Amino acid sequence: MQKGLIILLFSMLCYQTQAQQIFVNKQNLTTLKNISYITVKVQKTWMATRFSAFLDYGQGTSDSQQEMTDLAKNPLFFNSKVEIFNLLDRNGWNLIDSYEETKDNKVFVLHIFRRKK
C-alpha cells in the first residue's frame, strides 16, 4: 500500500514539474538566457471557454511563433488570465505593466513581464 502511494506521489510530482515548463516557438522559456522582458497576449479560444496565451520575446509576430505550448508543441489552454500569470511567476517572471494595442481593428491587452533576478 505504501509503495503504491509513493509511486503515485512521485508520478504526480514528475507530471507537475513537466506541466510547468513553457515552450514558445520550440524554445524552452527558461533556457533563453539573454531574454529579460517578454510580452504576453491572452485570447479566448474559438469556443470562448478557455484562454490561449501568446508570448513575444522578439522571435516573430505570427501566432504560431508566439503560442505557448508544451514540450510536444501542443498549445496550452488556461481557465483564466490569473492561471497564466501564476504559471509565469513559477517560471521566474514578474508582471510589471499592461497596455492596449490595436491590430486589425481589434484591441488587445498586452502584459509585460520581466525575468526575476
Residue 49: inside a domain: yes
Residue 36: inside a domain: yes
Split into its structural domains, the chain has a count of 1
Residue 8: inside a domain: no
State the pLDDT at residue 109: 94
Residue 86, domain extent: 22-115
Residue 42: inside a domain: yes
Q: How many CB atoms lie within 10 A of CB 9?
A: 10
Residue 102: inside a domain: yes
How high is the mean pLDDT in each 10-residue block of the chain (117 residues)? 58 47 89 93 85 91 87 92 96 96 91 95
Residue 3: inside a domain: no
- What's this model's pTM, rounded to 2 decimal places? 0.77
